[in-house]
């Protein structure tokens, strides 16, 4: 058992920590500043932050936020102790791949930890907007906020959430490389998974089959083609189909065999190929013309689908 020095606890500082804070202000009260944050990237309905934590923290008071909070440990092994107000300390051992899930609301809680390995303690943290979670619940199984109670869980393994966390971390590292559709789809998948697997009542989400009606599918495809060079969103596309984003994503994939993001990326790459072949546009101009904000953003998707970067493709023509 680690020997925490109780005399180092600054009681005046503890009393200055609020019981609750906003999700945006949350980073003011944690043990280190975020390495990366989605706050200034423009992502909707969630905030993603990455951290490298101190090897030892003898006392930390963490205020509650209104939104569910997920923490995925990426590296390092730690002995962690947590307690609620007026409660007893609970000891847990946290390792890479394990998750902490804290529901929104409630009161502040206390933590302390000691590293048990030489590896840095790194994690990715996600706050999912509680109102968005309710919206997904309403769209899928007609739930209201009183029926959505996220569980409080520590050191659990959930490969699906782990993959979502890693996907969003990569997007953040690459400056939202895949456009907002990719992040919106990941956010929706995370919300649905929480409703299914991490609520007090696991909600059954029905699967809808049959695809989009032909006229709605044509309307969506025409809209995508017209606005291919803009920052399209799932809300934009779902409005064209006159349905919720949840139902739209599933029916669109049934109709096309591709998610909306995959479909749009493929069209953008095909249009980029045409421009590289038929015009003298620079790679930068081609990227802007098909909806990417830099040549590097186009290059990653282009190489993934074509097998070579745009400049090399042009040289083969």
What pLDDT, on a 0 to 100 scale, did the predictor assign at position 202?
Answer: 77
Report pLDDT digits (tens) over 211-245.
899 999 999 999 999 999 998 999 999 999 998 88
What pLDDT, on a 0 to 100 scale, did the predictor assign at position 13?
Answer: 47
Proportion of the chain above pLDDT 90, given as a percent: 72
- Residue 162: helix, strand or coil by DSSP? helix
> H helices within the chain, ranges in order?
11-16, 130-141, 159-173, 179-197, 214-226, 234-241, 245-256, 260-278, 283-289, 295-306, 310-316
pTM score, whole prediction: 0.84
Domains of the chain: 6-197 (2.60.120.10), 214-316 (1.10.10.60)
What value does the mean pLDDT take over residues 62-78? 96
Is a pLDDT exceeding 50 seen at residue 11?
no
Which is higher by pLDDT, 98 or 14? 98
Q: Which residue has the tokens 């968005």?
A: 132
What pLDDT, on a 0 to 100 scale, did the predictor assign at position 15?
Answer: 56
DSSP 64: B
Is a pLDDT exceeding 90 seen at residue 144?
no
Mean pLDDT value across the chain: 90
CB 78 within 8 A of CB 2: no
Nearest-angstrom CA–CA distance, 258 and 67: 31
What pLDDT, on a 0 to 100 scale, did the predictor assign at position 7?
Answer: 37
Is a pLDDT exceeding 50 seen at residue 8?
no
Q: Which residue has the tokens 């299914």?
A: 196
CA of 16: how far to CAs of 11, 61, 74, 211, 289, in Å? 9, 10, 30, 54, 52
Proportion of the chain above pLDDT 70, given as a percent: 93
Nearest-angstrom CA–CA distance, 31 and 59: 9
Report pLDDT digits (tens) over 162-192.
999 999 999 888 765 456 888 999 999 999 9
Which is higher by pLDDT, 5 or 70? 70
């Amino acid at each position: 058992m680690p020997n925490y020095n109780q005399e180092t606890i600054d009681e005046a500082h503890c009393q200055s920590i609020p019981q609750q804070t906003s999700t945006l202000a949350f980073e003011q009260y944690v043990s280190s500043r975020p390495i990366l944050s989605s706050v200034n990237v423009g992502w909707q309905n969630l905030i993603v932050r990455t951290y490298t934590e101190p090897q030892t923290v003898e006392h930390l008071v963490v205020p509650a936020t209104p939104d569910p909070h997920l923490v995925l440990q990426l590296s390092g092994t730690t002995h962690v102790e947590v307690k609620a107000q007026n409660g007893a300390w609970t000891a847990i051992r946290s390792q890479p791949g394990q998750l902490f899930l804290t529901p929104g609301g409630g009161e502040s809680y206390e933590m302390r930890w000691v590293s048990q390995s030489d590896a840095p303690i790194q994690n990715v943290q996600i706050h999912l907007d509680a109102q968005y979670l309710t919206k997904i619940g309403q769209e899928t199984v007609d739930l209201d906020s009183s029926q959505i109670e996220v569980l409080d869980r520590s050191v659990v393994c959930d490969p699906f959430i782990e993959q979502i966390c890693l996907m969003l971390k990569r997007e953040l590292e690459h400056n939202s490389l895949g456009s907002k559709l990719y992040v919106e789809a990941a956010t929706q998948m995370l919300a649905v998974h929480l409703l299914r697997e991490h609520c007090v009542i696991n909600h059954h989400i029905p699967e809808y089959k049959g695809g989009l009606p032909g006229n709605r599918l044509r309307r969506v495809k025409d809209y995508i083609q017209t606005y291919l060079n803009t920052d399209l969103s799932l809300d934009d596309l779902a409005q064209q189909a006159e349905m919720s984003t949840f139902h739209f994503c599933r029916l669109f994939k049934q109709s096309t065999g591709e998610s909306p993001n995959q479909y749009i990326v493929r069209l953008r790459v095909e249009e980029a190929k045409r421009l590289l072949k038929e015009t003298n546009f620079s790679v930068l101009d081609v990227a802007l013309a098909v909806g990417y904000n830099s040549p590097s953003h186009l290059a990653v998707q282009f190489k993934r689908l074509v097998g070579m970067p745009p400049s090399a493709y042009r040289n083969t023509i």
